[in-house]
Every structure is written in C-alpha cells, then in structure tokens.
Amino acid sequence: MKRKIWIRKEISGLKKFIYGLLAFILLFSVWFALTSAKTPENRIISRNVLPNPIDIVKTFPSLIKGTGDTKAEGFVWKKSLFYAVWMSLKREIVAFLLVVALALPIGVLMSVSSRAKAFINPIIVIGTFIPIAALIPLTQAIFGIGEFQKIAFLTLGMIFVLIGLVMKEMDEVDGLYLDTAYTLGFSQIQTILFVIIPTALPRVWKHLSAVFGLGWGYIIFAEMINTGGGETINGIGWLFIARQRRFQIADMYAIFFIIIFFAFFFSYIFKISGWALFKHERDKR
C-alpha cells in the first residue's frame, strides 16, 4: 500500500485562500467572544486592554474626518486620517528611495570586490545589530527633532538590512553565467552590468518589498514627536501616540490595523509590479 506523504506537499491556491480565511474567522470569533458581554464589567477581557471589534469599527468615522468625535459634523484635513497617512507615506518614500540609491551600488560593490567587502562589511554588521529603539535618541541628538531626523531614522533602520540582502543575492548568481560572459568577450564591468545585476534583480525586488514594509513598521518610532505644532496630526505614527496619551484604546487598535492594511497594500503593489517588470521570471513558472 502506497504511503500518503503530506510533509511539504503543495496545495492549490483555492485551498490556501480557504485556510487563510478560516484562520481569520477563528481569530475574530475568539476575539469577539472574549470581549463581548451585556455589560462592560462582565467582559472576560477589559475594553481597556482589548476592545471589541465593533468598538474599533465605530472609531473610523471620527479618525477619517479628524473631528475626534463620531457624532461631530464636518471634515478637518490636517487632523484627518488621510492627512496622517499622506505625511507618513511621504517620509517613507523619501527614505526608501534614499536607501535604494545607496544600498544597491554598495551591495553590488561588496559582492564583486573582496576588498570592498572586507572594508565595508564590519560597518554593515555593526549597523545591523544596532537596536532600532536606540536610533531614536541617537538621531534626535544628531539631527534634532525636525523632518530630517525622521528621514534619517527610517533610512538607518532600512539601509543595513537592504545592503546585506543585495550582496547575498548578487553572490548567489551562478558562476556559470560569469564564465559564459567571459567566453563571449564581456569585460568585467559589462559582466556586472549585463549579467550579475539583471540575473539577481528579480530576487532583489522581492527584498525591496520586505524592506519597504520594515520601514513602514518603524513609522510609529519615527513620528513619536510632533513637529507640526498645535493640534496638527504629523503622521500616522503621531496619531497613534496621541491616542495612546489620551488612553483612547479603540482608536489605537484602529490605527494599528490601518498601518497593517497599508503594509499589505504596498506588498501587493510590489508583487504586481515585479510580475509586470520581470517577464522572464514569469515564464519560468
């Protein structure tokens, strides 16, 4: 009798979707059961610890309008959720583009030159092990608390990771491709530009998505101090911190889920654009 093997056995896309959906249904069912009761005092978990999902949903209108009250009328742009996301997204994109502009050439250089790797690698290792929380006071001490500090913090939080990933993917380009290029008469610069980089780029692109998500996750740390002045919401991170200080727990969870939503959204954008850019990778599947 043939034994049925289930270890690492692939399943269809439909089954993956169903299992994922069931996981969410189970999670939210348990969450709803633990936070629901006729009176708040009878809840298994206090709403000051974990609000009910319905309570969280009810906070969205006031967050979107920037009024601070679900019953209030009108729309305040500079206190709204849209403004907060816009401010944070601008910082994230500027920092990310700066990281890509620096990390790609450095990663390639470290991969193709043993001297460059020996020279730069100790700095990368040290930078990788710096606790992200330690970068907050360090960047504030060096750059102040203005806009440049936020960009510098996000950049330092992402760049060391991306350099290591770029170098790794360049290193893993099969030597057979290099030997073929030399046989065809390519110079070493041509081999780097037309063989190593194009071969590794699809895998590097996937890492770009992960690093962008990493920076987006750091946005709360970057925006802990409001430099907008007054009641201006200076980013979604500051919006979260402001609700925390006012002990508006339901609002905090709502903002947390918004941050997660945009992380998934950006990841999907990278996936779709990678599918469109690297046709040869699609053809392999």
User: What are the tokens at 58?
Assistant: 């009810």
Instruction: Say which amino acid occupies 158.
Output: M
pLDDT at 35: 86
Mean pLDDT of the chain: 85
Q: What are the pLDDT digits (tens) for 178-227? A: 888 888 888 888 898 888 999 899 899 989 999 998 888 888 888 877 65
Domain count, the chain: 1
255 and 66 Cβ atoms separated by less than 8 Å: no
As given in the structure block, the two tokens for residue 19 are 């299992």
Q: Output the six-digit token pair for 174.
A: 């099969």
pLDDT band at 228 (very low <50, low <70, confident <90, very high): low
Q: What's the pLDDT score for residue 230? A: 52
Q: Is residue 201 part of a domain?
A: yes
Contact 185, 128 (CB under 8 A): no
- Domain with 134, as residue range(s), is 78-284
Query: Within a domain: residue 73?
Result: no
- Whichever domain contains 94, its CATH number is 1.10.3720.10
Segment 17-28 shows an average pLDDT of 91
277 alpha carbon, distance to own chain's centre? 21
How does residue 155 score in pLDDT terms, banded at 50, 70 and 90? Answer: very high
How does pLDDT run across 234-276, given as a tens digit for each residue?
788 888 888 888 888 888 899 888 888 888 898 889 888 888 8
Predicted confidence band of residue 133 (pLDDT cuts 50, 70, 90): confident
pLDDT tier at 106, thresholds 50, 70, 90: very high
Is 265 a domain residue? Answer: yes
Please state the rounded mean pLDDT for residues 71-84.
74
Beta strands in the chain (DSSP E): none
Strands of 164-272 (E only): list them: none
Position 194 in a domain: yes
- 89: exposed, middle or buried (Cβ count in 10 Å: 0-12, 13-18, 19+): middle
Single out the residue of 24, 18, 81 nearest to residue 53, CA to CA: 24
Q: How many CA atoms lie within 13 A of 256 on its CB side?
A: 12
Q: CA–CA separation, 150 vs 53, rounded Å?
A: 32
Whole-angstrom CA distances from 158 to 165, 169, 278 are 11, 17, 24
Does residue 98 have a pLDDT over 90?
yes
- What does the block give as tokens for 117? 């790797």
Residue 53 lies in a domain: no
Distance CA 157, CA 218 (A): 8
Does 231 score more than 60 pLDDT?
A: no
10 lies in some domain: no
Tokens, residue 232: 């201006």
The reply to whether 202 falls in a domain is yes
Residue 77 pLDDT greater than 80, yes or no:
no
Give the span between the Cα atoms of 263 and 279, in whole angstroms: 25
Assigned domain for 95 exists: yes
CA neighbor of 256 nearest in space, from 234, 273, 229, 236? 236
d(CA 70, CA 66): 10
